[in-house]
Amino acid sequence: MTGHGSIVLVEQACTSCMVCARECPSWCITLDSHTEPVAGLPAGARVRTQNVLDRFEIDWSLCMYCGICVEECPFDALAWEPQHTAAASSASTLRHGISELGRSG
């Protein structure tokens, strides 16, 4: 883990598969999603659905920075960034959601 800071979410790559949350040994990841029909299917095609991410949250007060979530994500939706998560005056402010974790591309 040497050289890593904190974890960022590449939101457009996340399929809400839940692998990160299931594999996390400290259960610091919370993920909520819903399904929506896939748009643009040919006429007569069977209706298909896709997961849409509603909430992705890491509780840094629980995170061990082990990187299992980054390693296990099959879609590269989690990555390391060099900046460390800043200290906070309360545990509730150490829960970061999509807006704090997000990174484009």
pLDDT (average), residues 1-23: 87
| Domain ranges for the chain | 6-36+49-101
Q: At residue 105, does pLDDT exceed 60?
A: no
Give the pLDDT of residue 103: 65
Closest CA to 33 of 77, 67, 1, 64: 77
The structure tokens listed for 38 are 């896939």
Question: Quick one: pLDDT band at residue 2, thresholds 50, 70, 90?
Answer: very low
- Nearby residues of 69 by Cβ (< 8 Å), 6 or more positions away: 7, 20, 21, 23, 24, 29, 78
With 0.85 as the threshold, say if the pTM is over it. no
CA 72 from centre of chain: 12
Name the CATH architecture for the domain at 6-36+49-101: 2-Layer Sandwich (3.30)
DSSP-assigned letters across all residues of 74-101: TT--EEEESSPPPP-SSGGGGEE-HHHH
How confident is the model over 36-89, as pLDDT tens digits? 999 999 999 999 999 999 999 999 999 999 999 999 999 999 999 887 776 777
